[in-house]
Amino acid sequence: MNKPVTHRLLDTTVGAGSGLRSRIVERPGLSLARDDLAVLVEDVRSIARSALGDRDLSYGIFSGDPETLSRSVLTIVYEKNGGRPVAFNALAILDADLGGRSVEVLHLGLVMVRPDVRGAGLSATLYGLTCVLLFVRRQCRAVWISSVTQVPAVVGMVAETFSDVYPSRPGARRSFHHERLAQQIMGRWRHAFGVGEEAGFDTDRFVITNAYTGGSDELKKSFDIAAKHRDAIYNDLCATALDYSRGDDLLQIGQIDMRAASRYLAKVAPPDTVPGLLGSFALLMIQAALLPLVHWLDHTQPWGSLRAWKT
């Protein structure tokens, strides 16, 4: 009998709209028994085959590699009646270093939806909800995120959902932290999102050139068929920055923080509704009163002399 490794990791099920539920599993390669892990991976593969016309992907979680799955967070949406898997998002947890301090980067990874349920508004669950839950699990400390895509709709979603995103709208600032994380992601983690060693990287524009050579070949699109964003700024950004015939991608880096979490709550529960007001109030209370105490009492975080006494 296979037994899972015991860890305090996220494994929860929440509603995902009419007739749907989503399961979010953090580091399934560590938290699940082998047989349960195999079922989860097959659910993801079945969605991918449906979305790609029975073509297969060979990188990342699709390989079923336990090491890869131990650095992943899977969100899978199922139909309540029958349990058919209909959509998924696979986040990768990337280790990096900023100023001598280890940090985690949540790579937003691949999202796929079965053709017959597209348009059901699942993007908020597949992207935002998972990141917000992980943000809360990390005591509401800002968490770096990254995304690699050539789809204007996704570029715009990342820019509008998260904070301090580069590249995004014209005038977006590229900080030293953006540059440092981009170098490490491209230097150490390109295999996590299916980019081969031969791909180039434009450090000024954050453009990955010839990106579809590391197992993600089936995902390459032309600009004409790539989903567009409602704001033409992001469509123009992709059309100008990316060579679609070569297979370029845009690397975006930003953060999930209290502002981003508030924007997400406002999107799924408008502020003029009771749930929206309660959610906004709770976030403000956490930010103003509880978080400083929680952070100060956590002896695992570097606060120098401003540290609670460790016994």
Q: Are residues 117 and 57 in the same domain?
A: yes
Confidence band, pLDDT 50/70/90 cuts, at residue 127: confident
Phi-psi region of 134 (alpha: psi -120 to 50; beta: other; left: phi over 0): alpha
Q: Are residues 16 and 129 in the same domain?
A: yes
Q: Are residues 113 and 197 in the same domain?
A: no
Amino acid at 25: V
Query: Which of 107, 141, 175 represents a domain boundary (last residue)?
Result: 141
Q: Are residues 53 and 137 in the same domain?
A: yes
Residue 32 CB neighbour total at 10 angstroms: 23
The reply to whether the predicted model has a pTM over 0.85 is: no
Residue 273 in this model has a pLDDT that exceeds 50: no
Domain assignment present for 295: no
Q: Are residues 116 and 156 in the same domain?
A: no
CB 47 within 8 A of CB 111: no
User: For 189-216, what is each residue's pLDDT tens digit?
Assistant: 888 887 888 889 999 999 999 988 766 6
DSSP secondary structure, 113-136, as one string: E-GGGTTS--HIIIIIIHHHHHHH
Residue 186 CB neighbour total at 10 angstroms: 18
Q: Are residues 235 and 104 in the same domain?
A: no
Domain assignment present for 8: yes
CB 258 within 8 A of CB 143: no
Residue 207 CB neighbour total at 10 angstroms: 19
The Cα 230–Cα 234 span in angstroms is: 9
Q: Are residues 129 and 175 in the same domain?
A: no
Give the domain CATH number at 74: 3.40.630
Q: Are residues 135 and 11 in the same domain?
A: yes
Query: Which of 88, 114, 141 represents a domain boundary (last residue)?
Result: 141
User: For 280-306, what is each residue's pLDDT tens digit?
Assistant: 456 655 655 566 666 666 666 655 444
Domain assignment present for 76: yes
> In total, how many domains does the chain have?
2
Query: What whole-number percentage of the chain has pLDDT above 90?
Result: 35
Tokens for 2, please give them: 């296979």
The Cα 197–Cα 272 span in angstroms is: 49
| Eight-state DSSP code of residue 245 | T
Helix H or strand E encompassing 199: none
User: For 57-114, what is each residue's pLDDT tens digit?
Assistant: 766 777 777 888 888 999 999 999 989 999 999 899 999 999 888 999 999 988 888 8
User: For 160-190, what is each residue's pLDDT tens digit?
Assistant: 889 999 999 988 999 999 999 999 999 998 8
Domain assignment present for 289: no
Structure confidence at residue 291 (pLDDT) = 62
Tokens for 280, please give them: 């906004």
Give the domain extent around 115: 1-141
